[in-house]
Amino acid sequence: MPKVLVPLAAGFEEMEAVIVVDVLRRAGITVVTASLTDHQTVTGSHDIPLVADTTLDAVAEDHFDAVILPGGLPGATNLRDDARVARLVQRTAEQDGWVAAICAAPLALATFGVLRGKRFTSHPSVREQLQAAEGEYSEQRVVVDGRTVTSRSPGTAFEFALKLVAHLVDEATAQRLSQAMLVSPSVH
């Protein structure tokens, strides 16, 4: 099964982190949540604390098949400004792994150079900041270009997660989860 990293920075969007982690784990994917600080408890943008599995320093040298960045502000900018996150995302992309970001987190992918030449999306509120990404902006709810997946908002978190399951495991597993969770079949 694939091994996925979800780094958690203070101010992350809780729904985008929890829904994605939950759906991927239901698919049998090993998901590691990692705090950017020495404290495993990270507080999201709506003051909901989440206990990460570990710290980023503890897994910085591990291999991951995918790195998935939840959005939220200032969580997305905290991810963007962290050199360790940049190294992990760039290394994963260079090793033909998957990189994904939702909501405002494509800001980090743009800064790390991952969106260059790709189609991508984001929350509309950060679209202007992504003009320098050197890619093609889309208003689709979830965009897959190569091994890069982007999505728009907490409202697209299930679609985003199921699309990741379809690529990391298979379409049948994504379909099964969609049906079990009563998520519209058109979502993935």
| In-domain check, residue 185 | no
Active site residue 103: yes
| In-domain check, residue 186 | no
Q: Which contiguous run of DSSP H or E holds residue 25?
A: helix 14-26
| Residue from 103, 108, 143, 165 carrying the catalytic annotation | 103
| In-domain check, residue 41 | yes
CATH code for position 20? 3.40.50.880
| In-domain check, residue 32 | yes
Length of the chain: 188
Q: Which domain holds residue 24?
A: 3-172
| In-domain check, residue 24 | yes
Alpha-carbon gap, residue 135 to 108, rounded angstroms:
14
- pLDDT for residue 138: 97
Residue 187 per-residue DSSP state: G
| In-domain check, residue 179 | no
| In-domain check, residue 122 | yes
- Per-residue model confidence as pLDDT tens digits over 2-19: 999 999 999 999 999 999
- pLDDT for residue 132: 85
* pLDDT > 80? residue 56: yes
List CB contacts of 85: < 8 A, sequence separation 6 or more. 7, 9, 36, 56, 67, 69, 79, 108
* pLDDT over 90 percentage in the chain: 95
Tell me what the mean pLDDT of segment 31-41 comes to: 97
The backbone torsions φ and ψ at residue 19, rounded to the nearest 5 degrees and listed phi first, read -60, -45
Q: How many domains does the chain have?
A: 1
* pLDDT > 80? residue 188: no
pTM greater than 0.85 = yes
- pLDDT for residue 113: 96
* pLDDT > 60? residue 187: no
The closest alpha carbon to 159, from 177, 145, 172, belongs to 177
- Per-residue model confidence as pLDDT tens digits over 112-166: 999 999 999 999 999 999 988 999 999 999 999 999 999 999 999 999 999 999 9
